[in-house]
Amino acid sequence: KIAQKMPDFLLRRIIPNTKILEITLNRPAVLNSLNLEMCNEIIDILKRLNNSETNKNYINAFIVKGSGGKAFCAGGDVKSVWIDVKGLPADVVGSGCPGFLHSDFFRKEYTMNYLLQSSLRPQISLWDGIVMGGGVGVSVFGEFRVATEKTLFAMPETAIGLFPDVASAAWLPHLPSGYGLYIGLTGCRLKSADLMHTKIATHYVSSDRLNELEATLAETVIPNDPIDARKRIKGVLDHVQNGLKPDTANSLIIPQAELISFFLTVVALVKHIPWKISSHCCKRKPVNHTQWQQKNGLIRLFRLFQSYRL
């Protein structure tokens, strides 16, 4: 059964009489960063949960949380990946060949992201602390995302020139008021008020009430039907939140709403105005003039707005 195997890096237990599986990311010394073994274990859990033959009337929802009190998950274990890459020949690095940690880790991480996004079982993510990079990927696709006053959310990989990772292109464009583009370009760090304002988080509960939330869920029998299960869980979360709102004092998005709106307007202009490229800009014309112009303009705009990142 799912609950019997309990590796050190991933703790699992079934909350009695509820049909809820609780998954705890358990690497507090490294802020619960994901490694290959954790991704493999989560994939195995999700395949069982989504298979009617192995999960018939068994688990109808699952909670994901972090241990240690500082982080939900600070991302992937890139240190291990870097150590693996350093000792490999140049023709192997980036080839995607299986059997190497840097290839296997990202392949498994993205598989895990896909299974989380396509899971029929409701996921409740408790964002009590740092949520970054891979930590976003292991939780943001869940239907219920609970922030606390300790939540710090970001996609920091954009600051080193990488695209927003872990399938973020699937959810960033759906944020209201174009905030997804701003977050994707700047990699800004968001607090709980920002997460509620942008609807990245679905609920807000103070950190000292998370035990109460879990206790209330423990008293709730989750129905087999996924739609009914979602309604039941939402009712519990709404009840525990009870109208509580996060403090906006440390918000990034709310005080700078006008600035961000201006930023998005300029982006729209950069994308649609056909800028003229003179011959001294480049000796050889690019294959696609328009795309080259747009990319150059966005890069310059990105560098300008880097100064507004926290």
Q: In what order do the strands lie in the sheet with 123-127?
A: 10-15, 20-25, 61-66, 123-127, 144-147, 203-204
75 is catalytic: no
Question: Do the beta carbons of residue 203 and residue 241 sit within 8 Å?
Answer: yes
Q: What is the DSSP letter of 303?
A: H
76 is catalytic: yes
Residue tagged active-site, from 41, 109, 157, 194: 157
Both tokens of 189, joined, read: 């760090």
Question: Do the beta carbons of residue 137 and residue 163 sit within 8 Å?
Answer: no
134 is catalytic: yes
Residue tagged active-site, from 41, 77, 165, 194: 165
In sequence order, the β-bridge partners of residue 132 are 154
187 is catalytic: no
Residue tagged active-site, from 66, 75, 76, 142: 76
Question: Do the beta carbons of residue 92 and residue 50 sit within 8 Å?
Answer: no
Question: Do the beta carbons of residue 2 and residue 48 sit within 8 Å?
Answer: yes
* Cβ neighbours of residue 277 closer than 8 Å, sequence gap 6 or more: 285, 289, 292, 293
Residue tagged active-site, from 66, 75, 129, 134: 134
Question: Do the beta carbons of residue 62 and residue 123 sit within 8 Å?
Answer: yes
Side-chain-facing half-sphere of 209: CA atoms under 13 Å: 16
Active site residues per annotation? 76, 134, 157, 165
